[in-house]
Amino acid sequence: MACDRTVAETIETLTDRLQTSTLLEDRRDACRGLRSLAKDYRVEVGAQAMEPLLQTIRNDRQDVEMVNHCLDSLNYIISGPLADSPAATWPESDPTTSNASNDNHHHHHNHPSSHHGTSGETHQNNSVSQQQSHKETSHDLGRELSEIFLKRSENIATIVDTTRDNDFKTRWVVVRMLCGLARHKLEMVQDAILSDPLNLSRLSQLVAEEHELIRNDALVLFVRLTQANQNIQNVLAYENFFDKIIYIIELEGYLDGTVAVVNDCLNILLNMTQYNEANQMLFREGGHIQKLMPFFNSIQTIQWTFEKTACIVQVLQIVDCMVSPSNSPENVRRCQEIMQRCGILDKLCELLTASSMPIGVLSETMNTASDIVKGHLGPNATTVMQTSSMMPIILLGMVKEMCQDQERRISELYNYMHVLHEFVSSRSK
């Protein structure tokens, strides 16, 4: 939105009052005014007031109302129209965004009825184009403003430090603001958070919040912070983050509670373990592999939805990364033993013949089962041999009925190859 001279002068006046006034109420009024203007004039308020707002947070920490007005203003500057919705601040092209979700969105907005004619379609297309252009402009502004904010890493420490205050609004706004910053400049946010060892310690406490709004938004934030950053992953692991995340999953009742929350939890666990063998060892030694069993116990009776399918696929990926051939043989062996003892392998073998399972779940089940038995039949040899005797039939059925599905066909072949290898090896001994 264009800023006329009067608005620019108002912003300048309010910023000056915030910096120089000796009256507390006068500074509060200035904060309220800047907060109101930041919604529509984020660039102008950001250019003049970003640093004064941060300095006010540092100087007036005991005044919760003023701190919250400053945080709100900064949040509007960074995220603009998305400031009130942390989960919606991620780009639409994000790889974690579901295809099904996008499909549902397209189905919901059906093609216009024929009686609207060409002019109606043209009007709708123009409207969509304008909305897309507005989103792109807003995102570009967010990137630029986030970069300015993050050039000084102590700015992150300033806002994270406010989470020590026992105030719901303060903590919630901080999480929303960090979500917005991570959306625009994830790597810079990760680096800034790591620059002060207290940052992650304080933020990790937010997932144990009694207020679900804060806890759930904090999970959304950690889905991003744990992406492709082993330093953050390792620090969190030593902050007992695995315990906190597993506790939330148990609290939500696995797939019987809020599936979106469980999905975020599993996403975090996968981020922290998939390419991090040190964290895999901590996960194993903490007894967390066994705590995934309730997912497999209920899988036969699941009413499949896209969200539940995504959860089960992530559980399987977590299990599979523990026994990946790229890991050290000793780590793989220990994980295989645990998975056989606690019954995960038995459950996976049962699932291989289950009916009405989504293709993605069946594919991941086969990949995971084959990696668990590779090089380690152990006490479940009978179960595996029974599975191996059924594999040719299943394989023929898949190739015959679903030969167009390359992913499933490759998974069948991969599974059959490893089980057959174990069968031949055991017979030759």
Q: Within its chain, how far is the Cα of 375 from the centroid?
A: 34
Looking at residue 371, its pLDDT comes to 84
For the ranges 118-122, 143-147, 270-274, the lowest mean pLDDT is seen at 118-122
Q: Where are the domains of the chain?
A: 7-79, 389-428
In this prediction the pTM is: 0.82
Q: Between 353 and 12, where is the model more confident?
A: 12
Q: Within its chain, how far is the Cα of 20 from the centroid?
A: 42
Question: pLDDT band at residue 285, thresholds of 50, 70 and 90?
Answer: very high
Looking at residue 96, its pLDDT comes to 36
Q: What letter would DSSP give residue 116?
A: G
User: Do residues 220 and 87 touch, judged by C-beta distance below 8 A?
Assistant: yes
Mean pLDDT of all residues in 395-422: 56
Interatomic CA distance for residues 254 and 141, integer angstroms: 39
Looking at residue 310, its pLDDT comes to 95
Looking at residue 138, its pLDDT comes to 72
User: Do residues 367 and 320 touch, judged by C-beta distance below 8 A?
Assistant: yes
Q: What letter would DSSP give residue 23?
A: -
Q: Between 237 and 348, where is the model more confident?
A: 237
Each residue of 111-135: pLDDT tens digit?
333 444 455 555 555 555 555 555 5
| Dmax (CA) of the chain | 88
Q: Per residue, what are the HEC states of 133-160? A: HHHHHHHHHHHHHHHHHHCCCHHHHHHH
Question: pLDDT band at residue 301, thresholds of 50, 70 and 90?
Answer: confident
pLDDT at 393 over 90: no
Interatomic CA distance for residues 24 and 41, integer angstroms: 25
Question: pLDDT band at residue 199, thresholds of 50, 70 and 90?
Answer: very high
Share of the chain above pLDDT 90, in %: 61
> Across all residues in the chain, what is the average pLDDT?
82
Question: pLDDT band at residue 94, thresholds of 50, 70 and 90?
Answer: very low
Looking at residue 350, its pLDDT comes to 80
pLDDT at 83 over 50: yes
CATH class of the domain comprising 7-79: mainly alpha
Looking at residue 114, its pLDDT comes to 40
Looking at residue 2, its pLDDT comes to 52
Distances (CA, A) of 60 to 69, 70, 157, 281: 12, 10, 15, 44
Question: pLDDT band at residue 416, thresholds of 50, 70 and 90?
Answer: low
